[in-house]
Amino acid sequence: MTDSIEQKTKPRVVVLGAGPAGMSAAWRLSELGYPVTVLERDAAVGGMGKTIGLGKYRVDYGPHTFHIRETDESREVLAAIRPFFGEDPLILTRGTRVLLQGKYYIYPLEVFQVLLGVNPLLALRILVDYATATITSTFAPPKKEDSFEEWGVRNLGRTLYDLCFGIYSARVWGLPTSQISSKQAQRVAKLNLKNIILRALGIAADPATYFTKYMYPRAGISELFEGMAGVVRASGNEIKLGATVTRADCEDGVIRRVAYVQDGQEHVIECDAVLSTLPLPALVEMTAPALPEEVRAHARCLRYRSLKLIYLVLKRPRLTDYHWVYLLDEQFRVNRLSEQKNVSDEMVPKDRTVLCVELSLWKDEDLWRASDEEIYRLTLRDIMKMGYGVTEDEVEEYYVTDIPTAYPVYELNFEDHLIPVLEGVHEIRNLLTLGRHGLFLNNSMDDNVLLGMKIADHLEARGPADSQTWKTDMLAFMNLRFQGK
């Protein structure tokens, strides 16, 4: 069956994926009068930034708040999407903590709190190690790429790094941190002991990294992307849900048609441009004729870390006072706990709280295939260790769900694979990639809304078939993010 998008004067655009990046692109292009079709495998829009129903509760698919940064880019994004947050959005002050050796510390770390919280000998070791690391790194010869561990030890000293990043990061990424690229530190790039001390004295604050405010729509994060979907539909464009993209047919260096399966039937849609937010390894395997084997081989080396999300409904009004808590100590198997009610208390009844606990895994390990009951028991054991006196009787219900491609993994020198893949796919003149998976960039929703807005401007300025300029712009953009800017 062949669908055809109503031919308007502008090029016909097919957007692959209805997450934050795809929806933002579709919304902006719809406003600019483009005929757009969005193809989304899921039954709802929002991608990872969606709100899901669990029995009688509604919760986000992992904790999701929208970052407010003190940058021009952030102000531009927020001004553009402000209507989608509803009349009276919540403005939250970042309420995140790390649980370290039985105590809660503010995150990003406040050094005096840590130095005063740990035992005095440990505090002394933190300071001595930091001084040693600073001197050693001054004389170290430059390398092609530092590992995450080298970055951490240089910036924090061995003791603070091990306590606060080493053990936790190895668990999150499933690799020794000596095998992870320092580019993984993009989100905490300004987190070095010198900066922490200056910040504690009120002298240095890096606006890009140290955002302290969030905006949140009261009924759940997906309000934002449902709002965008409303604009897309109101302009006569279509969002096809339950539509799994299977093939992109190329002729003469451009994609002419995209195939997708919906309700068990294959459909084909004709197009002038394709904007893809799909994981790069999947996209590479979808193009017909196939991309060169070298590109496909590089794409197979790009790995994703998967997540199980375990939700516990507790028969108590609240567990913590925090948006989320990182569990740093070796005794924990799960990474992070978040409490939906602490973000919006309108989503959970007064006498109940819903926790979301994250467990990082590789898709080929046994635990990924374990029963929900097994995963729940492992989670409950960790929650019981947190010191809140949680008992099994308090758990009213539990739910286990997963995100198979949650985090692009930056193995050491991963760009040796990533760059040839980005170059390979953008050889197709009207295929442009964006988003967390389309760029293999561990970025946040605000960044992906920005990219959606940028890609609409790009199409408007340069037409549907200038993937080369887009790729060049994106490589520059990614480099900034890798530097934590």
Ligand X SMILES: Cc1cc2nc3c(=O)[nH]c(=O)nc-3n(C[C@H](O)[C@H](O)[C@H](O)COP(=O)(O)OP(=O)(O)OC[C@H]3O[C@@H](n4cnc5c(N)ncnc54)[C@H](O)[C@@H]3O)c2cc1C
| Residue numbers at the binding site for ligand X (CB under 6 A) | 16-22, 39-42, 47-49, 62-65, 67, 244-245, 277-278, 307, 358, 403, 406, 435-437, 443-446, 448
Is the CB of 19 or the CB of 424 nearer to ligand X?
A: 19
CB of 367 to ligand X, least distance (A): 17
Is the CB of residue 68 less than 8 Å from the CB of residue 214? Answer: yes
Nearer to ligand X, 73 or 394 (CB): 73
Stated as kind and residue range, the H or E segment containing 359 is strand 353-361
Query: Is the C-alpha dihedral spanning 458, 459, 461, 465 positive or negative?
Result: positive
Q: What is the smallest separation between the CB atom of 18 and ligand X, expressed in angstroms?
A: 5
Give the contacts of 234 (CB within 8 A, at least 6 positions apart): none
Find the shortest distance in angstroms from Cβ 159 to ligand X: 29
Contact between 17 and 40 (Cβ < 8 Å): yes
Nearer to ligand X, 162 or 238 (CB): 238
Between 192 and 448, name the residue whose CB sits nearer to ligand X: 448
Query: Which of 126, 243 has the CB closer to ligand X?
Result: 243
Q: Which residues pair with 106 in a beta bridge?
A: 97
CA atoms in the 13 A half-sphere facing the CB of 225: 32
Nearer to ligand X, 130 or 398 (CB): 398
For ligand X, give the closer residue by CB, 238 or 446. 446
**HSE (side-chain half, CA atoms, 13 Å) at 199:** 20
Q: Is 224 helix (H, G, I), strand (E, B) or coil?
A: helix
CA angle, residues 31, 278, 59, in degrees to nearest 5: 80
**8-state DSSP, 380:** H
Q: In terms of DSSP bridges, do strands 395-408 and 353-361 run parallel, antiparallel, or are they unpaired? A: unpaired
The neighbouring-strand residues paired with 336 are 326, 358
Nearer to ligand X, 94 or 158 (CB): 94
Nearest one of 444, 434, 442, 343 to 74, comparing CA atoms:
444
Containing 104, the helix (H) or strand (E) segment is strand 103-106
Q: At what angle do helices 467-482 and 445-462 cross, to 10 degrees?
A: 150
By beta-carbon proximity to ligand X, the closer residue of 193 and 474 is 474
Which pair of structure tokens corresponds to residue 468?
């080369």
| Beta carbon of residue 403, minimum distance to ligand X (angstroms, whole number) | 6
Tokens of 194: 């010198």
Smallest gap, in angstroms, from Cβ of residue 356 to ligand X? 8
- Tokens (6 digits) for 82: 């402000």
Q: Which is nearer to ligand X, 60 or 162 (CB)?
A: 60
Shorter beta-carbon distance to ligand X: residue 47 or 152: 47
> Measured from the CB of residue 40, what is the shortest distance to ligand X in angstroms?
5
- To the nearest whole angstrom, how small is the minimum distance from the Cβ of residue 85 to ligand X? 14
- The residue behind tokens 């930034």 is 49
Output the six-digit token pair for 36: 């757009």
Rounded to an integer, what distance in angstroms lies between the CA atom of residue 463 and that of residue 276? 16
CA distance 32 to 453: 11
Q: What does the alpha-carbon distance between residue 1 and residue 19 come to, in Å, rounded to a whole number?
A: 26
CB of 7 to ligand X, least distance (A): 24
Nearer to ligand X, 160 or 278 (CB): 278
Cβ contacts of residue 322 below 8 Å, gap of 6+? 95, 96, 97, 104, 339, 342
Q: How far is the CB of 77 from ligand X (least distance, A)?
A: 11
> What is the C-alpha to C-alpha distance for residues 422 and 438, in angstroms, rounded to an integer?
9
User: 454: which 2 tokens?
Assistant: 């940028």
CB 115 within 8 A of CB 139: no
CB of 61 to ligand X, least distance (A): 8
What order do you get walking across the sheet with 36-39 strand by strand? 238-240, 36-39, 13-16, 273-276, 431-433
The least distance separating ligand X from the CB of residue 438, rounded to whole angstroms, comes to: 6
| Minimum CB–partner distance for residue 119 and ligand X (Å) | 33
